[in-house]
Homo-oligomer: A and B are copies of this chain.
Amino acid sequence: MTNGLGFVETQRVVLGTEDDPLVLACGRSLSHVEVAYETYGELNEARDNAIFVCHALTGDAHAAGHHGDPERRGWWDTLIGPGKPLDTDRFFVICPNLLGGCQGTTGPLSTDPATGAPYGLDFPLVQMSDFVALHQRLLAHLGIERLLAAVGGSLGGMQVLQWTVQAPDQVANAILVASSSRLTAQNIAFSAVGREAIMRDPGFRDGRYFEEEAEGERGPQIGLAIARMMAHITYLSEEAMTEKFGRRLQGEETGGQRMGLGVDFQVESYLNHQGRSFLDRFDALSYLYLTRVMDYFDAFADPTAADRVRAGGARFLIVSFDTDWRFDTGHSVRILRTLEHAGVPVTFREIRSPWGHDSFLLTPPGYHETIAAFVDRAHEVGLGGAS
């Protein structure tokens, strides 16, 4: 990746204060809300070239460029940059960390001003609409009234959809990749078992594990690793796993193999690595809160929602991947049908990709081309034409 963005810095801003608290859907308020975000490209004078990127469950504000090591780049660096589909020569791209997250934006490990200690499980149960409400504050802070586009994969796409329901005038173009309008029982089940693994870990200590850190306790690391390992299975297609690992054993080439109950197969080693490395970058409480936001999300629960979206004038691009079984194409088709029924203009494309749900982070043929074409058209039409 030599043609990408250079060094970028994560910025921080306070967007909820004691005088102007963020009032949440549950009725509670947050009197101090910090948001971590990054921007790429320049906002033009007309302020009509802003594209908002919403990250997935375990993503963060660092979507593109690097923080010092050009080899370690943001999670959507293939999509964002000069000449890329989200072309930073033309667009001003914004990506914040989510409310409830653990990567710079206020979440369960942030200090509760009322107590001077981290919230822990006293952090309010945030909802998808709260994500949007906070991001609207970020837009206001940046002096942007309306977005040329909002783009997100997985949970990020769910948030984009919520934005078009909640503030239909604010998003001219919505791009939902590998996303859903509401989870199935099976989707909820996988998240539920992950949460149970975390909450039943003795290290969880009723969510006060952070108090013990000084004494060398390490929190619910076993449960969090198990949750991640299990979730990771659902992010890959069966085909991708077969291709990548098959039934190959560890040390097979060197004859170092010995049958046991531990890590014998290469797929086991891979999952263990995934579980372990997750601990360095994610927090267990954020995992609980953010997965719960997904469970409760139901974009069209209000039967007038799709009509409101139509009135707002947003155009949609919905992309699914044929081997994604976490949010299979059926999820995308449900959104398509609901929006089309209400008269919303929607382009839908199922991309062939061997990699399952994770495809939204990769570059299967046709995927970025589809987004680029949609964004180029959005750019041509501009904010005026789309409203």
Contact = CB atoms under 8 A, between A and B. Distances in A.
A303 to B, nearest CB: 16
B185 A247 contact: yes
Interface stretch (A90-98, A258-266, A311-319): A258-266
Contacts of A298: 247
Interface residues of A, number: 52
A289 to B, nearest CB: 7
A195 B201 CA distance: 15
Copies of this chain in the oligomer: 2
A66 to B, nearest CB: 32
Contacts of A190: 230, 233
A23 interface: no
Residue of A230, A271, A292 with most partner-chain B CB within 10 A = A230
B121 A188 contact: no
A242 interface: yes
A228 to B, nearest CB: 10
Nearest to A229: B193
Nearest to A231: B193
A199 interface: yes
Contacts of A267: 185, 188-189, 192
Nearest to A207: B261
A193 B247 contact: no
A125 B197 contact: no
Contacts of A295: 264-265
A132 interface: no
A168 to B, nearest CB: 24
- Which 9 pairs across A and B sit closest by C-beta, in order of nearness? A185-B241, A192-B268, A185-B245, A185-B267, A186-B238, A200-B222, A193-B229, A189-B233, A186-B241
Interface of A: 26, 121, 125, 182-186, 188-190, 192-193, 195-197, 199-202, 222, 225-226, 229-230, 233, 236, 238, 241-242, 244-247, 259-265, 267-268, 271-272, 275, 288-289, 292, 295-296, 298
